Amino acid sequence: MLASPWPRVFAHPDWVFELKWDGVRTILSWDGGAVSLRSRLGNDATARYPELGVPVADRPVVLDGEIVSLDDTGRPSFELLQQRMNLSGADRISRAVTAVPVSYVVFDILYDGSEVIDEPWERRRLRLEALELPAPLVASTVIEEDPTALWELVDRRRLEGTVAKQRRSPYRPGVRSPDWRKITRFRSVRTVVGGFLPGGGGRSGTFGSLLVGLWTEAGLRWVGAVGSGFGDATLGAVRSALDEMRRPDSPFLPDPAMPRQAVWVEPVLVAMVQYKDFTGAGRLRGPSFKGFTDDPPSSITWDAEGPV
């Protein structure tokens, strides 16, 4: 179940409020003997996070939550989590468990010995609270009153945002429902990388910015150039990957504003980008790179990710 964007914080007795976590949305299933982890798109992530394979309950359960990694200040860090998201090999994963530990923040229960998605949120929440979740699993904190103080925490700590949930809402898998509302401090969008601009000065050996787009029925629509948010190590690694994906022609729909010095690549990388807003021309304003995701590029569409 997905949350609909909402422009501002609000208070209402029929709604509860939680933090919006900057991690990877994941469904955890416990069959009584083993844990399995699935991404929002159904990809198996079980082997990447062995520390989450702990006995969850004395009965089969299915949980919805977010895998997160905290930085030294206690803030969720998507950049840190990147180091775990695409790992393979038992030795590498074992080392990463120590170097980049993760937690699983649980905010819903979908199966509790039987399917419970048609029950209202508040009843599902009671079921979740009745579980004695073992570390590193932890239930999300719920604010049932005025969320102003929660938003002040989000703003002060520069967190992702908050999510409001209607107390009586059922759980609707795959639906972007108005019963859940996300209020973000920074907006974020998944984009498809279709090219890059050569770098200058200190970036002459890497790149200046990524050219990103969103799929439409007509083709890949260019939405902007992302040049900030890259660390020095990231710049070099990304440039090496881009060089392996070069192509002679543009994957984007024709756009007269496209920079002439662009270098084209196959549109197979998906980049998470923070931004302030979309311009009237459909460009990202103030974009900043956050990391790459393992989402299929074909799922990154204008309808799903574009301005609301």
pLDDT band at 204 (very low <50, low <70, confident <90, very high): confident
pLDDT at 104: 98
Q: How far apart are CA 143 and CA 130, in angstroms?
A: 18
DSSP 8-state assignment for residue 236: H
pLDDT score of 225 more than 80? yes
**Mean pLDDT of all residues in 179-193:** 92
pLDDT at 62: 98
Same-domain status, 165 and 44: yes
pLDDT band at 303 (very low <50, low <70, confident <90, very high): very high
pLDDT band at 289 (very low <50, low <70, confident <90, very high): very high
Q: How far apart are CA 264 and CA 233, in angstroms?
A: 22
pLDDT at 168: 98
Q: Please tell me the total count of domains within the chain.
A: 2
Same-domain status, 228 and 144: no
- Find the domain containing 233 and state its range: 187-305
What DSSP string describes 176-207? Answer: EEEEEEEEESSEEEEEEEEEEE---GGGTTS-
pTM of the model: 0.72
Same-domain status, 114 and 70: yes
pLDDT score of 232 more than 90? no
Q: What single letter denotes the amino acid at residue 95?
A: R
Same-domain status, 77 and 212: no
**Mean pLDDT of all residues in 247-270:** 96
- How far is residue 140 from each of residues 45, 117, 270, measured CA to CA in Å? 21, 18, 28
pLDDT at 80: 85
The pLDDT tens digits for 86-136 are 777 888 899 989 999 999 999 999 999 999 999 999 999 999 999 999 999
Same-domain status, 74 and 110: yes
Tokens of 224: 């902007």
Q: How far apart are CA 293 and CA 288, in angstroms?
A: 15
User: In the listed set 160, 184, 208, which residue is the last one of a domain according to the structure?
Assistant: 184
- How far is residue 272 from each of residues 10, 79, 193, 297, measured CA to CA in Å? 27, 10, 10, 12
Same-domain status, 7 and 143: yes
pLDDT at 29: 98
Q: How far apart are CA 26 and CA 105, in angstroms?
A: 10
pLDDT score of 190 more than 90? yes
Same-domain status, 121 and 259: no
CATH number of the domain to which 224 belongs = 2.40.50.140
* Residue 254 CB coordination number (10 Å): 8
Same-domain status, 148 and 27: yes
CATH number of the domain to which 179 belongs = 3.30.470.30
User: In the listed set 129, 152, 184, which residue is the last one of a domain according to the structure?
Assistant: 184
For the annotated catalytic residues, the residue numbers are 20
The pLDDT tens digits for 4-27 are 989 899 999 999 999 999 899 999
User: In the listed set 184, 213, 244, which residue is the last one of a domain according to the structure?
Assistant: 184
Same-domain status, 83 and 156: yes
The pLDDT tens digits for 30-88 are 999 999 999 988 889 999 999 999 999 999 999 999 999 998 989 898 878 988 887 77
pLDDT band at 164 (very low <50, low <70, confident <90, very high): very high
